[in-house]
Every structure is written in structure tokens, then in C-alpha cells.
Amino acid sequence: MIRMQPPVRRRAWIPILLLLIGITSTPSQLAAQTASPSDLLSAVVGVEAEVPPFARTARSLGTNRSGSGALISSDGLVLTIGYLILEAMAVDVITHEGDRVAADVVAYDHESGFGLIRMREPSTVTPLELGDSASMTKSEQALVATRHGSRAAIGVRVVDRRDFAGSWEYLLEDAIFTAPPHREFGGAALLGSDGALVGIGSLFVGDAAGPRRPSPGNMFIPVAHLQPILDDLVTDGRRAGPLRPWLGVYPETARGHVFLSRVADESPAETAGLGRGDLVISVGDKAVSSVFEFYRALWAIGDAGTTVPLQVLRPNGAVESLEVDSIDRYDWLKLNPSF
């Protein structure tokens, strides 16, 4: 079991820093200071990964990836966004002092989107405490910190909490949306007013304040999704329990319909004959009209390996019934054999 650092009261410095960048605080937040901003921000590090050109994600995510991560344990465990280290053959951590330290990939969790790496050399930096992300409500103040320290940290507000569906067979419940946006969001640390880590940066979005509301911002993965699976990830490289079926489709919602924008090469979907432009009418006996409904119906069919019956409308107007033999997505990826 991984040992986390005991809670530390840091409630003073973040409101002070937020005041400096134009966000107000309440007097009750100005408690006795026990850690300086530079001390805490030094636990936010750089993450750089090299991915082989034959990796499944090389074309879409690139072979040289760079972002941030948060040190969360005294033995060098760093939490980051999974796509930075997915299929990586080499990973480095860049410390707040600019030192480059080799790291090992510990885990990748597709369900949440988190990635874990461990530095090969000990760190003297105090790790960040995992905070209570479930209590982060709309209008609450927070701080986005990256590998570039205080000069790049920005104050933000939580502008929404809602489920998010990505086109890569991904659904995140109760995501944290913040504004204004930070341009270096990948793996960035979202810190609450007590200085604890409450989220890891995932995406730039154009509708942070709500669907169909133009409002640029960022989406963060709440650390509440990490806490129940952390020991599994550290021990086995992935969460325990049933494996979700994966088809290899990239669905989008348009006018109450689910259509496929593309299909992954050498995926179960491609093998079954699905293609770009197909419109999914139903999964089993469940009609679907959104990506949210599609994913939930797919995962309700059974575990990875289950045959998934689909009814689709082809671009030529023909309605067809297909069966797709699902797999575990990890078997399709070309992952680092260390985990």
C-alpha cells in the first residue's frame, strides 16, 4: 500500500497568490502560513516522454510529448495525464530546479485518464496532499500550476461540474471545468484553496461553463477518481475488476444521433466492417441518441471479450445488424511491458 503524506495546513498562501493575480479571498482563508508558494509549487514537475513511431497513438498524439505532473508520494510517484506517457519507451521528470531524472511508467488507467510514473532517484521535495475534489463546487477558486512554477501559475474558478464523453471510448463522471483556460493544461495540477491537489489537467474545451455555451476553459480529472484505485495502479499497473469491452470506434453526437467519425486500424470495429460515417442506431436492444448513451449501453453488455450486437445505418441508407467481438483496449495498445 502506498503511503501518502499526512495533511498539512497550507490555507494561507494560495489566497495570497490569488489576490496577487486578481482573485479575491475571504478573511477566513487567511490562516497561519506553514508552507510558501515556492515550496508547494516545486512538487509540480515537468514530464517528457518519447514514444516509438510504431505506437498506436503516435500519429494522433505524437512521439515526443511534454507536459506536467504532480509529485504525490515521498518515494517519487508522480501523477500526470495518461496520454503523455501512453505507449512511452522513455520518460523523464524535469524537477523545479531544472534537473532531468529518468522515470519508470507505473500505470495507465484508460477509464479515468490518469497516468503514474516513478522517478528513479529520490526527491527531497514535499509531495502534494490529495484533496477533496468532490467538494469543489461552481464558483470556487483554485490555482492551476504547471512545470513552469509561479511565473506560469494562474488563478481560476470552477465554472461547472458535469460528465464528459470523449470520442475515444471515454466517459469521465463529474469532471471539473475551470476558466480562464491555461494553455499548458496537459498534466497541470489543480490546487484547492488549502493547497491540496484536487485535479489533473486533461483538455482545453470551448464550452467549460456548459454545453452549447461558448466559454473557453480547461477540463480536469478529479483526484476522487484516483483514490479508490491508487493501490491497484501501483501494484498491478491498472485497476482491478472487470475489463470494459472496447470496439475501436470514435463516435460523436449530432442532432440526436451517434455517428462514427473514424474507426481505429486493426480494431474489432474495423474487423467487423464498421467505418467512417456509419450511424449507430442501437446497442443490443438499447436505442442510443448520444455518445453518453452509446458508451453506457456498450459497457452494460458485458466485459471485454463480449460480442456486441449493433444496428447501424450506413452512409448509403442501408440498415444493417452487425456483431463486434470486443477486446480489452490494453491488448490493442503497444504498452511498455514493465506494466
Same structural domain, 48 and 97: yes
Read off φ and ψ for residue 274, nearest 5 degrees.
Answer: -75, 150
- Kindly report the average pLDDT of the chain as a whole number: 90
Residue 172 has pLDDT above 60, yes or no: yes
Q: Report whether 305 contacts 323 (CB < 8 A).
A: no
CATH code for the domain of 153: 2.40.10.10
Which three-class secondary structure string do you get for the chain?
CCCCCCCCCCCCHHHHHHHHCCCCCCHHHCCCCCCCHHHHHCCEEEEEEECCCCCCCHHHHCCEEEEEEEECCCCCEEEEEHHHHCCCCEEEEECCCCCEEEEEEEEECCCCCEEEEEECCCCCCCCCCECCHHHCCCCCEEEEECCCHHHCCEEEEEEEEEEEEECCCEEEEEEEEEECCCCCCCCCEEECCCCCEEEEEEEEECECCCCCCCECEEEEEEHHHCCCCHHHHHHHCCCCCCCCCECCEEEEEECCEEEEEEECCCCHHHHHCCCCCCEEEEECCEECCCHHHHHHHHHHHCCCCCEEEEEEECCCCCEEEEEEECECHHHHCCCCCCC
Q: How far is CA 274 from CA 250, 304, 312, 320, 323, in A?
A: 11, 18, 9, 10, 10
Number of structural domains, the chain? 3
pLDDT mean over 277-283: 98
Q: Report whether 65 contacts 49 (CB < 8 A).
A: yes
What does the pLDDT read at residue 336? 67
Last residue of a domain, one of 177, 206, 236: 236
What does the pLDDT read at residue 283? 98
Cβ partners under 8 Å of residue 333, min gap 6 = 55, 56, 57, 86, 87
What does the pLDDT read at residue 17? 54
Same structural domain, 168 and 196: yes
pLDDT mean over 207-215: 93
Among candidate residues 218, 199, 232, the one with its CA nearest the CA of residue 113: 199
The better pLDDT of the pair 36, 173 is held by 173
CA dihedral sign of residues 57, 63, 69, 75? positive
**Domain presence at residue 2:** no
Q: How far is CA 333 from CA 47, 110, 112, 267, 296, in A?
A: 21, 11, 17, 10, 22
Among candidate residues 119, 124, 98, 96, the one with its CA nearest the CA of residue 38: 96
Percentage of residues in the chain with pLDDT exceeding 70?
87
Same structural domain, 118 and 21: yes
What does the pLDDT read at residue 176? 98
What does the pLDDT read at residue 227? 96
Query: 145 forms bridges with which residues in the sheet?
Result: 189
**Domain presence at residue 193:** yes
What does the pLDDT read at residue 337? 59
Per-residue pLDDT of 225-252, as tens digits, reads: 999 999 999 999 999 999 999 999 999 9
Residue 177 has pLDDT above 60, yes or no: yes
Same structural domain, 102 and 21: yes
Residue 27 has pLDDT above 70, yes or no: no
**Domain presence at residue 338:** no
What does the pLDDT read at residue 230? 98
Per-residue pLDDT of 33-42, as tens digits, reads: 344 667 789 9
Per-residue pLDDT of 281-313, as tens digits, reads: 999 999 999 999 999 999 999 999 999 999 999
Same structural domain, 163 and 200: yes
Same structural domain, 208 and 270: no
Read off φ and ψ for residue 241, nearest 5 degrees.
Answer: 105, -175
What does the pLDDT read at residue 92? 98
**Domain presence at residue 273:** yes
Percentage of residues in the chain with pLDDT exceeding 90?
85
Q: Where in the sequence is the domain holding 294, given as residue range(s)?
A: 249-332
CA distance linking residue 188 with residue 93, whole number of Å: 14
What does the pLDDT read at residue 268? 98
Same structural domain, 21 and 104: yes
Cα 314–Cα 263–Cα 89 angle in degrees, nearest 5: 180
Same structural domain, 31 and 118: yes
Residue 122 has pLDDT above 50, yes or no: yes
**Residue 212: which pLDDT band, with cuts at 50, 70 and 90?**
confident
b/e burial code for range 70-88 (CB count within 10 A of at least 16 → b)? bbbbbebbbbbbbbbbbbb
Same structural domain, 29 and 115: yes
Last residue of a domain, one of 211, 236, 261: 236
What does the pLDDT read at residue 40? 84
User: Which three cell numbers mark 149?
Assistant: 512554477
Same structural domain, 165 and 186: yes
Residue type, 75: D
What does the pLDDT read at residue 22? 42
Same structural domain, 17 and 83: yes
